[in-house]
């Protein structure tokens, strides 16, 4: 695949269950027609914890920046930006660890990076062309997370509630909410904000058109 110079890297962040993934998927659907876009999830770059037991892995604070292997993520973004494919890890939330499977990612013209700390980490932030913060009320985010973790990640209601109160909410206030100041765009309610999504799509089309000149 011939890239249009360097890819456009779009960072999407916000609190847990704010709508980051939904927004990334909507943008992917808009630009996937010519295989020009990929989504890279920060969640897949949780550190490998194979050396720990399942019980020990359950005690990890997964809402802290140190839970992620950002060095590997940055390395992969740089390779993709230079036109090289990468072998991306895949995270398995049901076992609190990386899967033994990986995914080959080919370079594209648009890279969407979505995750909790994509604006908190300066090295990641400096690689982004467009920085987006999805701002969704805390009560809405909690309800979404509760439903998601019970349905998709095999969690009990009690474990979700305990994790939210002891780490998720605290880490959000300490690490995620302050990154709003770095955003180029703050989008309320994420992909449900039709006007904001249309403006964002128009901006991306404009950038891609300029790269073709």
Looking up residue 113, the CATH number of its domain turns out to be: 3.40.50.300
- What is the domain extent for residue 131? 17-202
> Is 128 within 8 Å of 6 (Cβ atoms)?
no
Q: What is the pLDDT of residue 33?
A: 80
Average pLDDT per 10 consecutive residues for the chain, totaling 213 residues: 72 92 92 85 96 92 94 97 96 92 93 96 95 92 89 86 90 95 90 88 84 61
What is the pLDDT, as a whole number, of residue 135?
94
Contact of 136 with 130, CB cutoff 8 Å: no
Q: How much is the pLDDT for 2?
A: 44
**Residues 6+ positions from 154 with CB-CB distance below 8 Å:** 93, 94
Q: Could you give the CA distance from residue 144 to residue 120 in angstroms, rounded to a whole number?
A: 23
Distance between CA 63 and CA 67 in Å, rounded?
7
Distance (Å, whole) CA 60 – CA 56: 7
- pLDDT at residue 211, rounded to an integer: 65
| Among 16, 8, 10, 21, CA closest to 167 | 16
Residue 87 within a domain: yes
* Residue 56 maps to a domain: yes
Residue 24 belongs to a domain:
yes
Q: What is the pLDDT of residue 4?
A: 53
pLDDT on residue 212:
63
Question: Residue 86 in contact with residue 80, Cβ under 8 Å?
Answer: yes
Closest CA to 22 of 150, 208, 197, 202: 197
Please indicate, yes or no, if residue 170 is contained in any of the structural domains.
yes
pLDDT of residue 210: 76
d(CA 192, CA 128): 23
Strand order in the sheet with 110-114: 37-41, 110-114, 8-14, 130-135, 185-188
Number of domains in the chain: 1
pLDDT given at position 1: 43
């Amino acid at each position: 695949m011939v890239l249009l110079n360097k890819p456009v890297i779009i960072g999407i962040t916000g609190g847990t269950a704010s709508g980051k993934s939904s927004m990334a998927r909507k943008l992917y659907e808009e630009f996937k027609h010519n295989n020009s876009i990929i989504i890279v999830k920060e969640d897949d770059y949780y550190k490998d914890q194979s050396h720990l037991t399942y019980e020990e892995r359950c005690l990890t604070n997964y809402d802290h920046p140190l839970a992620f292997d950002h060095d590997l993520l940055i390395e992969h973004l740089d390779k993709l930006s230079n036109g090289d494919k990468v072998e991306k890890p895949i995270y398995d939330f049901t076992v609190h660890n990386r899967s033994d499977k990986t995914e080959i990612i080919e370079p594209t013209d648009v890279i969407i990076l979505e995750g909790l700390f994509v604006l908190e980490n300066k090295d990641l932030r400096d690689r982004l062309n467009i920085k987006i913060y999805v701002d969704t009320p805390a009560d809405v985010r909690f309800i979404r997370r509760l439903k998601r973790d019970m349905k998709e990640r095999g969690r009990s209601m009690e474990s979700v509630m305990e994790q939210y109160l002891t780490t998720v909410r605290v880490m959000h206030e300490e690490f995620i909410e302050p990154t709003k100041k770095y955003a180029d765009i703050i989008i309320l309610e994420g992909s449900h904000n039709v006007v904001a999504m249309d403006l964002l799509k128009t901006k991306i089309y404009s950038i891609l058109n300029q790269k073709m000149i």
